[in-house]
Amino acid sequence: MSQTVYLNGEFMPLTEARVPVLDRGFIFGDGVYEVIPVYARVPLRLAEHLARMQNSLNAIHLRNPLAAEEWTRIVGQIIERNAWDDQAVYVQVTRGVAPRDQAFPADATPTVFVMANPMSKPSAEQRERGVGVITAEDFRWQRCDIKSVSLLANCLLRQLAAEAGCVEAILLRDGHVTEASTSNVFLVKNGVIVSPPKDRRILPGITLDLVLDLARNAKLPIEIRPVPEHELREADEIWVSSSTKEVLPVTTLDGKPVGNGKPGPMYARMYGLYQDHKAQIARAGAAHA
């Protein structure tokens, strides 16, 4: 079955979507993106994803080519025109097509691309047994808060993890945990959930905020503060979160067991809260449909 995508004002089969080679997204990685999880055809935290995209666009001095209502309409159409109930909707805006010159073109039209893929949720085995991660030096740039399509450093780091047979690389900068190559990081120590502050060294994850909101509502203790490397290595539990991973338990770190080597009780609690929340959103969506 052919996927339907949106490119610059038109819906079309993925196989027909074409972007000129002088697009600054291709030449410079000059653009931003979002990945929005969709459950039972209802996008999760769409407004928050659109707000984060606006922040990314502001940070790269690129005007948003569409109003929030237009984005909402296009994302809704993409969800409707594709076959799967659970999807990951990908949205990308680049600075458009222009002769190759690093300085911004005066009059380029931003390129807008939206596609959907079937949501590939973590497997039951990953949730029940946990996943392995490695640690790596965070050698990315100083604006990791921008969700930029320039992802070469993230690709190199994620590949390091893949070559070690792991799902993620947890990144360390100046002796502190920042995030992972494609997700945010939490640890649990003595029943307290700890996560690094949202500054320019990490992407402000929408799932990170959701996990923290769920924890707050359930009165689970949280500390947002810098996390030195030794705390990661001494944690009772480690979790990684992202729109497609949801929340996953990490049970080996650099080949050594985390805590007792099994997903912990706080993870079980958070996983339950997360699934309940998704079900609630899907029910509310069905009621509005």
Ligand X SMILES: Cc1ncc(COP(=O)(O)O)c(C=O)c1O
The residues carrying an active-site annotation are 147
Residues 182-211 that bind ligand X (CB under 6 A): 182-184, 203, 205-208
Q: Which of 87, 111, 243, 251 binds ligand X (CB under 6 A)?
A: 243
Task: For the CB of residue 120, give the shortest distance to ligand X in the complex, in Å.
Answer: 13
Backbone dihedral region for residue 45 (phi beyond 0: left; psi -120 to 50: alpha; all else: beta): left
| Distance linking the first and last C-alpha atoms of the chain | 25
- Minimum CB separation from ligand X for residue 35, in Å? 6
| Contact by Cβ (8 Å): 272, 249 | no
SS3 134: strand
Q: Which of 184, 176, 179 is nearest to 226 (CA)?
A: 176
Nearest approach in angstroms of CB 58 to ligand X is 17
Number of residues that bind ligand X (CB under 6 A): 14
- In 72-225 the beta strands, taken as DSSP E runs, fall at 87-94, 111-118, 131-137, 168-173, 176-180, 184-189, 192-195, 222-224
Q: Shortest approach of ligand X to residue 231 CB, angstroms?
A: 19
Which residue from 23, 30, 138, 179 is in contact with ligand X, where contact means CB under 6 A? 179
The first and second tokens of residue 222, run together, are 């949280």
Q: Which CB atom, from 98 or from 250, has the smaller least distance to ligand X? A: 250
Q: Given the complex with ligand X, which of 108 and 166 has the nearer CB atom? A: 166
Residue (108 or 169) nearer to ligand X, CB: 169
Instruction: Name the DSSP class of 102.
Output: S
Q: Which is nearer to ligand X, 112 or 247 (CB)?
A: 247
- CA torsion 63-65-71-77 (nearest 10°) is -150
Span near ligand X by CB under 6 A; candidates 8-16, 119-127, 181-189, 272-280: 181-189
Binding mask 118-157 for ligand X (x = CB under 6 A): ------------------------------------x---
Helices of type H across 10-134: 24-28, 46-59, 68-81, 124-129
User: What is the smallest separation between the CB atom of 105 and ligand X, expressed in angstroms?
Assistant: 27
**Of 78 and 240, which CB lies nearer to ligand X in the complex structure?**
240
Rg of the chain, C-alpha, whole Å: 19
Contact between 231 and 258 (Cβ < 8 Å): no
Q: Which of 251, 249, 269 is nearest to 259 (CA)?
A: 251
Shortest reach from residue 239's CB to ligand X, in Å: 12
Site residues (CB under 6 A) for ligand X, limited to 30-59: 35
The first and second tokens of residue 87, run together, are 């999807």
Instruction: Pick the closer one to ligand X by CB: 110 or 205.
Output: 205
Which of these ranges, 64-72, 129-137, 237-245, 248-256, lies near ligand X under the rule CB under 6 A?
237-245
Tokens at residue 168, please?
A: 């993620």
Q: What residues make contact with ligand X under the rule CB under 6 A?
A: 35, 154, 179, 182-184, 203, 205-208, 241-243
